[in-house]
Amino acid sequence: AQKVTQAQTEISVVEKEDVTLDCVYETRDTTYYLFWYKQPPSGELVFLIRRNSFDEQNEISGRYSWNFQKSTSSFNFTITASQVVDSAVYFCALSEGRNNAGNMLTFGGGTRLMVKP
Amino acid sequence: ETGVTQTPRHLVMGMTNKKSLKCEQHLGHNAMYWYKQSAKKPLELMFVYNFKEQTENNSVPSRFSPECPNSSHLFLHLHTLQPEDSALYLCASSPKFAGINEKLFFGSGTQLSVL
């Protein structure tokens, strides 16, 4: 069975600080996909990144970066120079790579990030 | 209007009421999903429709009844709910269900309170 753990339920930082959100996953599949979604106060989840299990290259997109390490089953998300607009709940998610699994995402419990001015 | 739209945004209902949640997507997608987000559990997938056909029912109680009349509209009919059903119900869509694990596009949800 798949499982995603986000041990940090809530993080509070001051603007311009760097912050890392942890994500640890469990799966028996060799092919799988990892995702991060952001849920701002308006409610809708917004896709941030998708990474497949064969691509361990770290990725950077502006102030966002992701560190995927299969050896530790982790897919951590770092925000550099955080801003108040980054305040949201962030979800890590996992799906199997089999075609018939489709978009069956298993979500972690989410990490609420509060960035104070 | 673009994206995924859910109505109503907020709903309060008694345990004997019957109500419906509506979701509409303007993205031309063929797969639609209902998720439940409660305070005590991670986001849970409830139902999946692919090309109007239900492909997944994640052991959801029969008091929740989905309906997908076409690829753009998805309903969740509610009857005789329990207080523990109070949650944020999120609708999502994707170009298709199976294949390359595409990203989901979410609506803003309906915050449901069952009294």
Give the minimum alpha-carbon distance from B95 to chain A in angstroms, rounded to a whole number: 10
Residue A71, C-beta contacts closer than 8 angstroms, at least 6 positions apart: none
* Residue B77 in this model has a pLDDT that exceeds 80: yes
Mean residue pLDDT across chain A: 91
For strands A10-14 and A111-116, give the pairing: parallel
Using an 8 Å CB-CB cutoff, list chain B residues near A47: 103-105
- Integer Cα distance of A108 and A25 in angstroms: 9
- What are the tens digits of pLDDT across the range B31-76? 999 999 998 888 999 999 988 888 878 889 999 999 999 999 999 9
Give the minimum alpha-carbon distance from B54 to chain A in angstroms, rounded to a whole number: 13
Nearest-by-Cβ selection for B101 from A45, A103, A110: A103
Q: Cβ contact (<8 Å) for A45 and B31?
A: no
If one compares A57 and A80, the residue with the highest pLDDT of the two is: A80
Using an 8 Å CB-CB cutoff, list chain A residues near B105: 47
pLDDT at A66: 95
- What are the tens digits of pLDDT across the range B101-112? 678 999 999 999
pLDDT at B101: 62
For strands B110-114 and B10-13, give the pairing: parallel
pLDDT > 70 in chain A, percent: 94
Task: Look at residue B83 and give its three-state secondary structure.
Answer: helix
pLDDT at B102: 74
Residues A17-42 have a mean pLDDT of 94
pLDDT > 90 in chain B, percent: 70
Using an 8 Å CB-CB cutoff, list chain A residues near B94: 103
- Integer Cα distance of A9 and A36 in angstroms: 15
Q: How confident is the model at residue A16 (pLDDT cuts 50, 70, 90)?
A: very high
* Residue A26 in this model has a pLDDT that exceeds 60: yes
